[in-house]
Amino acid sequence: MQVSAEYGLLLASVLFTLGLIGVLVRRNIIFMLVCVEIMLNAAGLAFIVAGSKWTQADGQVMFIFILTMAAAEVSVGLALILQIYHQLKTLDGDAANSMKG
């Protein structure tokens, strides 16, 4: 099971960039949320690679924290999406560009 560390990090970078492109080009908020998940996952991968390089558990621990954060973020984010949809009747992120009050 020997893989060069660069390839691991390379994969993480590619996935991160793809997620970023997704966030930037999609107007649907659900898509944006999904793409953020992809980016978080890519970051987690980078930690795993680093942990694997040093054969330490810290990388995985960090991954778990990122996971926790992602779960919390998704739950709050989805609740927000529901609210936005109720208020604006659309999932267009650009529609939510003005504040009330």
Partner 1 sequence: MQIAFYIAAFVAVLSTVMVITRFNVIHALLYLVVSFMAMAVVFFILGAPFAAALEVIVYAGAIVVLIIFVIMMLNQKEEAVDQEKKWLTPSVYIGPAILSVLLLGELIYIIYEGESHTIGQQVVDVKEVGKTLYGPYILAVELSGMLLMAGIVGAYHLGRQKKKVTHRFLKQTED
Partner 2 sequence: MSLWLIPALPLLGAFVLIVFGQQLPKRLIPIIGSGSVGLSAALTFALGYRFISSSASSFHIKAWQWMDINGFSPAVAFHLDALSLVFIFVITFVGFLIHVYSAEFMVHDDGYARFFAYLNLFVCSMLTLVLADNFVLMYLGWEGVGLCSYLLIGFWYAEEKNGYAARKAFIVTRVGDISLAFGLFMLFQQFHTLNIQEVAAQAAQHWTVGSETALIISLLLLGGAVGKSAQLPLQTWLPDAMAGPSPVSALIHAATMVTAGVYLIARTHVIFELAPDALMIVGIIGAVTLVLAGFAALTQFDLKRVLAYSTISQIGYMFLALGVSAWSAAIFHFMIHAFFKALLFLAAGAVIESLHHEHDMFKMGGLKNKLPVVYWTFLIGAGSLAALPLITGGFYSKDQILWLSLAGEHGHIWFFLAALVGAFVTSVYTFRMMFLTFFGKENTPVGHVPGKGMNIPLIVLAILTTVGGFIELPHTFGHVTFFSDFLKPILPAVTMQEEMESFEWLIQLVAALVALSGVGVAYYFFIYKPDQADELKSSAADLHSFWLSGWGFDKLYDKLVVQPYVYLSNVNKNDVIDKLYESVVTVANWLNRILAYTQSGILRWYIMGIVIGGILLMALALI
Q: How far is the CA of 61 from the CAs of 53, 55, 56, 69, 100, in angstroms?
A: 14, 13, 10, 12, 41
3 binds, among partner 2, partner 1, none (CB under 5 to 8 A by kind): partner 1
b/e sequence 53-89, b meaning 16+ C-beta within 10 Å: eeeeeebeebbeebeeebeeeeeebeeebeebeeeee
Q: Determine, following the binding rule CB under 8 A, whether residue 101 of this chain makes contact with partner 2.
A: no
**CB nearer partner 2, residue 31 or residue 51:** 31
Binding mask 14-33 for partner 1 (x = CB under 8 A): xxxxxxxxx-xxxxx-xx-x
Residue 23's Cβ-count burial label (10 Å; 0-12, 13-18, 19+) is middle
Segment interacting with partner 2, rule: CB under 8 A, options 6-14, 64-72, 77-85, 93-101: 93-101
Minimum Å gap between C-beta 14 and partner 2 is 16
C-alpha to C-alpha distance for 76 and 62, rounded to whole angstroms:
21
Q: Determine, following the binding rule CB under 8 A, whether residue 100 of this chain makes contact with partner 2.
A: no
Q: Which residues bind partner 1 (CB under 8 A)?
A: 1-11, 13-22, 24-28, 30-31, 33-35, 37-38, 41, 44-45, 48-49, 51-53, 55-61, 63-65, 67-76, 78-83, 85-86, 91
